[in-house]
Amino acid sequence: MRVAIDTQPGGTGPNEDWVAGTPTLAVVLDGLSTAGLDTGCRHGVPWYVAHLGSQLIAALAEPSVSLTDGLAGALDRVAALHPECDLSNPGTPSATVAILRQREGFLDHLVLADSPVVFEGHQDFTVITDLRVDEVLPELRAEVEQYETHTADHKEALRRFVTAQRQTRNTTTGYWVAAAGPEAADHALIGSTPIEDVRAAAVLSDGSSRLVTEYAMATWSEVFMTLRTGGPRELIDTVREVEATDPTGRRWPRYKSGDDASVAFCQW
C-alpha cells in the first residue's frame, strides 16, 4: 500500500488534526474543538492527538491486534500518560478516529465519529462515516449557524453549543469519540473489504471531506482525480480556495471559516 499524506491547520492556531501512513496502515485523527472552554487537561488537543496517533501506530503494527482492540489499548495508554489531569472532565481532549489497514487480501476499517474512509471501487464509491454527532442538539447547532463566523454572537453561540454537547459525548444517548476511556472503541464502525474490489481509498478529516459533503463543490470522482494528479496538498488547497469565497460562512454556515484538514490517500 502506498500512502500519501498531508495536513494543514484551518487558521492561525495550532493544527488539531493528526495523520500518518505506513505500508499497511493509514490513520487520521481530528481533535475536537474546545471553543475556549476548560478541559481539565494541561496538555491540550494537539498533544492528545499526537500521542494517541503514535500509540495507534505502535499497537496496530501487530497484524493479530484488531482495530478495536488497538484503539482501546491506545486510549488506555494515553490516559496513563497524564494521570495528573482531570480525565473525568466532559471536555477532556478528544478526537475522531479513522483507520484503514491492509491485511491478507482485505482492507479493514474503523471509523469513530465523522472523519470518513472513502473507497473507490471499480464502479462507484463507498463512504464509511459515523454521523451520530449531527443528531445531537439540533436547535443549538442551528443557533450557531445563523451567525457569521468571527462575530461575538457566533463565538458565544458556539460556546453554548459545545458546553451542552460535551454532556452527550460518549454516552448512550449521544455520540462517541476517542477520549479518556477505552469503551469508546466498542462504539466504532468497523468492517472489511476485499482489496480486489478497491482501486484506491482516502482517509480524511471532515475539514477535507466537506468539499463534497457540506460544500457540494466536488464529487468523490473529482476528489480522487485531484488526489491522483496533485496529491493530498492539492485537495486541501482546493478546499481553502472554496472557503475563501465564503469567509464569513454565509453560504456554508459552519463553526469556523476554515477547519484543520488532513488526507491519507492510499493506492495499490
14-63 pLDDT, tens digit per residue, is 999 999 999 999 999 999 999 999 999 999 999 999 999 999 999 999 99
Q: 3-state SS of the chain: helix, strand, coil percent to 5?
A: 35, 25, 40
Give residue 94's pLDDT: 98
Give residue 138's pLDDT: 94
225-245 pLDDT, tens digit per residue, is 999 999 999 999 999 999 999
Give residue 202's pLDDT: 98
pLDDT band at 5 (very low <50, low <70, confident <90, very high): very high
Count of other CB atoms within 10 angstroms of residue 55: 19
137-151 pLDDT, tens digit per residue, is 999 999 999 999 999
Average pLDDT over residues 176-195: 98
Q: Give me the domains of the chain, ranges plus CATH numbers.
A: 2-257 (3.60.40.10)
Q: Residue 37: what residue type?
A: L
Q: Is 92 within 8 Å of 85 (Cβ atoms)? A: yes
**CA distance readout (Å), 170 to 32, 115, 142, 210, 266:** 13, 16, 22, 24, 30
What is the Cα–Cα distance from 207 to 261, expressed in whole angstroms?
Answer: 4
pLDDT > 70 fraction of the chain, expressed in percent and rounded = 100
Average pLDDT over residues 92-109: 97
pTM for the structure as a whole: 0.96
